[in-house]
Amino acid sequence: MASSLFIFFLTSLSNFLPLSVLSATVLEDLATLTPPPDFTTTITTNCLHNPLLRYCNNTSSSSPMNITEIFRSTIVPGHLCNESKNPNCIDSFPKIRIHGRPKTAALYLSFNFFWKYCPLTVVEIQLVNNSLKSEFPTNVLSCAQIRTLDLSYNQLSGSVPVQSLSRLTSLTHLNLSYNRFLEEKISDSEFFNRFNASSFIHSGLLPDVKRNKMRVLVLLIVFPIVVILLCCCLGWLCLKRPDYLRRTCRRSHKLTSAMLDAATDEFSDQRLVSKGNGVDIYRGTLRDGREAKIEVYTEKVSKEKRREFEEECEAVLKLRHKNLVKVLGWCNSRNLRALVTEWTNGENVETWLSSSLASSWRRRLRVVMGVVEGVCYLWEQWPEITFDLNTSSVLLSDDDQEPLISQFKIGDGNSSSTNIFNFGLFLLEMITNLKPNEEQEDSATRYLEYIRVHCPDNVERVVDEKMKIEERTLEKVKEAIALGLMCTDGSPLKQPSFTQIYDMVVSLYESSSRHH
Ligand SMILES: *[C@@H]1O[C@H](CO)[C@@H](O)[C@H](O)[C@H]1NC(C)=O
Ligand SMILES: *[C@@H]1O[C@H](CO)[C@@H](O)[C@H](O)[C@H]1NC(C)=O
Ligand SMILES: *[C@@H]1O[C@H](CO)[C@@H](O)[C@H](O)[C@H]1NC(C)=O
Ligand SMILES: *[C@@H]1O[C@H](CO)[C@@H](O)[C@H](O)[C@H]1NC(C)=O
Ligand SMILES: *[C@@H]1O[C@H](CO)[C@@H](O)[C@H](O)[C@H]1NC(C)=O
Ligand SMILES: *[C@@H]1O[C@H](CO)[C@@H](O)[C@H](O)[C@H]1NC(C)=O
Ligand SMILES: *[C@@H]1O[C@H](CO)[C@@H](O)[C@H](O)[C@H]1NC(C)=O
């Protein structure tokens, strides 16, 4: 029995380290023990008294002496002293001091058997600076008799079994400094009241004052700085590049000059589409990927005018009609006034008129029809918004060749008489593919005079040759020219109203579809 215990002792030990290391360490410690003077008599008396004691069967084993040695230094002293009831029994054995042996410290700790029967002779456990990397060695708690426990300068981690430590009633010196334990509320435990903070320096157990100071520092200084920086960034974004913010966070249609700068590569020449008449037109790409036409008004205006411009932009933004180009937003900063509308790849009506697509009377009427619809919508719903109507400002949409009125005159106060006049010119141009020569003075008057001369008797002279007109539509073309001339009449009183124009164009358009 005893021998099997010994073998267990050895095999469990050899699980951790080769035996050669063992003989030089634990057993060496044990071997240096010398039995107290009354050792043999005590054992004999005990065995006589109680033969069932483990150490009594030494004869049946093959190497009784070594077993005796083991027991002498481990279990036997405990047993003996338990039995002897002699209060000085333990002290009569030489003490094992487990310290100053960095190489063997881990062995002692990992050797469960040793600790389980922690020799009562062990009174001091000093495992300072031993690179121990485990959790708190709870087996140490079996050595209830120890007076010193110094585990400082290791890398012990995890939590310390605060409650169980109170089993170490004899402990007078405790040092857990310089480890990596988890923070514990050890101040609540009565056991730890016996020790002061110098037992737990940098152990992780106590809240780290320095680290707390750092935290306070971070909270008081760094955090506000970060918040201020964030606010600055956000403020900058709001002011300069609101298109980087979420849609809900920004005033959706008011664009900043930085946004337009980015959309047009800082108004580069490659992006410039046309220039002149106080308006530079750029083709830009907004951050959400939409292509946009950006009309930049180069004229410097007063603060009052800028305010009006903004009001008008807000109004124009609300326009929703299939024959009006869609306004995406505007910019009204000190150094940049611009209106941003949807980009259409389609050509303008002026170029379209010279193409073969414009050879049908019906198709031309359809464009006029769309323009009239757009104009009437503006006139009825948004009388305050004026527009620049001519064949170059009306675009054709990419997909269905729907005309789009694209230039809204802002801050220009056109009267409806002017608008009707311009529509008249537009209509005549749609029929004749001729327009007033802008370089000449009085060009519009001359142009109208020219048409009047040939109308209605020599209409063929003025009608665009490309347009194939049958006999029966000629009457309608004449009607249309008459309407155009009426609109361009010098006296506003003789001009038809938008309602009348609308009705006439509708009837022209309908008659043209009947012929088809
Ligand atoms: C000791 O040996 C005797 C007989 O050999 C046996 O009866 C007894 O149980 C043994 N005691 C122990 C503690 O093993
Ligand atoms: C152990 O055996 C030896 C002889 O082999 C004997 O002298 C001694 O008394 C024995 N010890 C015990 C405790 O029985
Ligand atoms: C204990 O065993 C070792 C070998 O393991 C041996 O050298 C030694 O003599 C033994 N001790 C006694 C007292 O028999
Ligand atoms: C000593 O006796 C106590 C109870 O009296 C017991 O719990 C303890 O295990 C004994 N120690 C040894 C080493 O046998
Ligand atoms: C721990 O031991 C190493 C060498 O083993 C030594 O360099 C170091 O100074 C020791 N640290 C302390 C705090 O004793
Ligand atoms: C802490 O206790 C140790 C003894 O355990 C003592 O030497 C030291 O002076 C104490 N320190 C304080 C600050 O009380
Ligand atoms: C624990 O160890 C550290 C480091 O060696 C030392 O500064 C401290 O005074 C010790 N504490 C006690 C209570 O001995």
Ligand 4 center to 79 CA (angstroms): 7
Ligand 1 center to 32 CA (angstroms): 29
Indicate which ligand has the atom closest to the C-alpha of 60: 1
- Phi and psi at 73, nearest 5°, equal -95, -15
Q: For residue 492, what pLDDT is reported?
A: 79
104, 129, 175, best to mutate for ligand 5 pocket (most atoms within 8 Å of CB)? 129
Structure tokens at 422: 């311009």
Whether 445 is in the pocket of ligand 5, judged by its Cβ within 6 Å, is: no
Q: How many CA atoms lie within 13 A of 283 on its CB side?
A: 8
Q: Which atom of ligand 5 is nearest to the CA of 102?
A: 5
Q: For residue 106, what pLDDT is reported?
A: 42
The binding-site residues of ligand 2, defined as CB within 6 angstroms of any ligand atom, are 43-44, 47, 56, 58-59, 64
Query: Domain coordinates of the chain in residue numbers?
Result: 254-343, 346-516
The CA distance from 328 to 330, in Å, is: 7
| Strand 279-285 to 272-274 pairing | antiparallel
Ligand 5 center to 153 CA (angstroms): 8
Q: Which atom of ligand 7 is nearest to the CA of 175?
A: 1
Structure tokens at 329: 């937003």
Assigned CATH class of 254-343: alpha beta
Q: For residue 316, what pLDDT is reported?
A: 82
Structure tokens at 177: 């400094």
Q: For residue 103, what pLDDT is reported?
A: 41
Please give the distance of CA 67 from its chain centroid, rounded to a whole number: 71
Residue 456, preceding peptide bond in cis (omega within 30° of 0)? yes
Quick one: which of 178, 185, 229, 179 has its CA closest to 207? 185
Give the helix/strand (H/E) hosting 279.
strand 279-285
Q: Are 386 and 414 in contact (CB under 8 A)?
A: yes
Own/partner contacts of 80-87, CB < 8 Å, gap of 24 or more, are 80/39, 80/42, 80/43, 80/46, 81/120, 83/42, 83/46, 84/42
The CA distance from 68 to 265, in Å, is: 95
Q: What is the pLDDT along the chain (516 residues), one digit of tens a residue?
A: 232 233 233 323 323 332 222 333 344 544 554 555 555 666 677 667 766 554 555 554 433 333 344 344 444 455 445 555 556 655 555 454 545 444 444 444 444 445 555 666 667 777 777 777 788 888 788 778 888 898 899 889 999 988 888 889 889 999 999 999 998 888 778 888 889 889 998 888 887 777 778 888 888 888 889 999 999 998 888 878 877 776 655 566 788 888 888 889 988 999 888 887 788 889 999 888 888 989 898 888 888 888 888 888 888 888 888 888 888 888 888 888 898 988 888 788 888 888 877 778 888 888 899 999 998 888 888 877 777 788 888 888 877 778 888 877 665 556 778 888 888 988 888 888 888 877 777 888 888 888 888 877 777 788 888 887 777 788 888 888 888 888 888 787 888 888 888 998 888 888 877 655
The CA distance from 150 to 167, in Å, is: 16
Atom 14 of ligand 5, residue of closest alpha carbon? 129
Topology of the domain comprising 346-516: Transferase(Phosphotransferase); domain 1 (1.10.510)
3-state secondary structure of 336: strand
The CA distance from 315 to 334, in Å, is: 20
Q: For residue 163, what pLDDT is reported?
A: 86
Q: Which position has the token pair 């708190």?
A: 136
Give, as one character, the DSSP assignment of residue 440. Answer: S
Ligand 2 center to 51 CA (angstroms): 12
Torsion angle defined by CA atoms of residues 362, 366, 368 and 370, in that order, rounded to the nearest 10 degrees: 170
Q: Which atom of ligand 3 is nearest to the CA of 68?
A: 13
Q: Are 395 and 344 in contact (CB under 8 A)?
A: yes
- Please indicate whether the domains covering 254-343 and 346-516 agree at the CATH topology level: no
Ligand 7 center to 177 CA (angstroms): 7
Alpha-carbon distances of 225 from 177, 218, 229, 307, rounded to whole Å: 36, 10, 6, 37
